[in-house]
Amino acid sequence: MQSDLAPDLAARSQAAGALRRLGHAIVGHHVDPALLTEIAAQVESWLPALEAGPERRRPIEDMKRRLYEAPQTDGPDLDHFPDCVVSGPANPMGVAVALHRDGDDAVATVSLGAAFEGAPGRAHGGIVAAVFDDTMGLVLKIISTPAYTGELTVRYLAPTPVGEELEFRARLVRREGRKLFIEAEAYRTSDRTQVASAKAVFIAVELR
């Protein structure tokens, strides 16, 4: 079984990126039925070889080393782990969020594609919540404290658009024993309109 840090990561990420584009294209455009049938047949022809490969597993120790052994500095993008459904570049069903640190804030930027639409022209609320959760996960990296989500509450303040750049910001506001209280906001990048806010309680676990 291979770890998610295997040397094929670049190729996996390239394939995943193409498949993400394919998904958004199918949802966001009128496509000739004959082309859709051709796409389906091609994918079906690949699946036996893909599914015959050895099972992959993401070892928890790899994740711990990647996330918590060194502090997260300001600046460059970080994905929690390559197969993460929110920020992982190697996940073909992912959201393709870009994460970075800005002082005490964890910051995520993303333009949500057509496949993440809920109501027409608006992002599905579950996707917004997932981006909040992942952004808050970067806060754990900033404070070098592994934890799991105990509770997440989202307030939807305005329509969250698809196809426009969004910024999510999160930070630790206090600690009570193992409980970490994190708050966050989401904005349209173009005019800084706040579209949502979130509060969460994470429960710290030991780093072994």
Split at pLDDT 50, 70, 90, the class of 154 is: very high
d(Cα 152, Cα 156) in Å, to the nearest integer? 13
More confident call, 59 vs 51: 51
1: pLDDT strictly greater than 90: no
Backbone angles phi, psi at 80, to 5 degrees: -60, -45
pTM of the complete model = 0.87
Q: Identify the domain containing residue 114 by its residue range.
A: 1-208
40: pLDDT strictly greater than 80: yes
Q: Is 89 exposed, middle or buried (0-12, 13-18, 19+ CB in 10 A)?
A: buried
69: pLDDT strictly greater than 90: no
207: pLDDT strictly greater than 90: no
Q: What is the pLDDT of residues 18-27, one digit of tens each?
A: 999 999 999 9
Could you give the number of structural domains in the chain?
1
Lowest mean pLDDT among 68-82, 99-113, 130-144: 68-82
65: pLDDT strictly greater than 60: no
3: pLDDT strictly greater than 50: no
CATH no. for residue 76?
Answer: 3.10.129.10
